[in-house]
Chains A and B, each alone.
Chain A
Amino acid sequence: DAEITQSPRHKITETGRQVTLACHQTWNHNNMFWYRQDLGHGLRLIHYSYGVQDTNKGEVSDGYSVSRSNTEDLPLTLESAASSQTSVYFCASSGSLNSPLHFGNGTRLTVT
């Protein structure tokens, strides 16, 4: 069965370090998304991609970057981790317009 996997599930890092969260999907979807989930804010869009070599900023993109070198993967990089980036991060993918998102199980990131 097709799936979307995130790694690691949990990560603790120190302020100022670079961190990369992995997202891999086997749906062969062109569209991939990164969201963060915080209490009181729901899910907020960080970055998204509609295909290889395509990346776009979302609502809360400052301090984050993504790259899309193939269809399956959209890694999320925190250039210099800050305590405000402590959150749960979700990756998702979708097919065509008017199709639902498939989510990974999330990565819980703690920045100390």
Chain B
Amino acid sequence: SQQGEEDPQALSIQEGENATMNCSYKTSINNLQWYRQNSGRGLVHLILIRSNEREKHSGRLRVTLDTSKKSSSLLITASRAADTASYFCATQLTGGGNKLTFGTGTQLKVEL
């Protein structure tokens, strides 16, 4: 079964709007990471939040982590057409070494 589950599976918004994606996981983690994947390309790291952190910002990205609920959210503010991509959360499990377990992803489409 998947460690990470993203919600929604697909999201379509207008340029300038905010996009929020959620991720839930099942077991204790060292950190949670978000990645973006453009069509036909590899994944690109966006942001990493450690288990003892609650919120992190990077440019137009804001990530929150609630370890009591085993959930995280990624907010993209003032979205642009170039933000159209798939977004994945990934967890590094406590005691699991450096490997990551990925969710199934959210497909974001930003329309002009």
Contact = CB atoms under 8 A, between A and B. Distances in A.
Contact of B92 (A40, A90, A98, A103): A98
Interface string A22-51: 000000000101010000111111001010
A48 to B, nearest CB: 5
Range class of the A interface residue count: 20 to 34
A108 to B, nearest CB: 9
Nearest to A105: B42
Contacts of B41: 105-106
Q: A45, A92, A100, A105: which has the most chain B beta carbons within 10 Å? A: A100
Contacts, number: 62
Contacts of B100: 33, 45, 101
Interface string A80-103: 000000000010101011111111
Given A98-B50, A100-B33, A104-B42, A58 B99 contact: yes
A90 B43 contact: yes
A40 B98 contact: no
13 contacts: A42-B2, A43-B43, A45-B99, A45-B101, A90-B42, A97-B30, A98-B31, A98-B48, A99-B98, A100-B45, A103-B35, A103-B42, A106-B40
B45 A41 contact: no
Interface of B: 2, 4, 30-31, 33, 35, 40-45, 48, 50, 88, 90, 92, 97-105
A7 B22 CA distance: 34
Given A41-B104, A98-B92, 19 more contacts: A40-B104, A42-B102, A42-B103, A42-B104, A42-B105, A45-B101, A96-B98, A97-B92, A97-B97, A98-B30, A98-B31, A100-B33, A100-B45, A101-B43, A101-B45, A103-B35, A103-B43, A105-B41, A106-B40
A35 B100 CA distance: 10
A98 B30 CA distance: 7
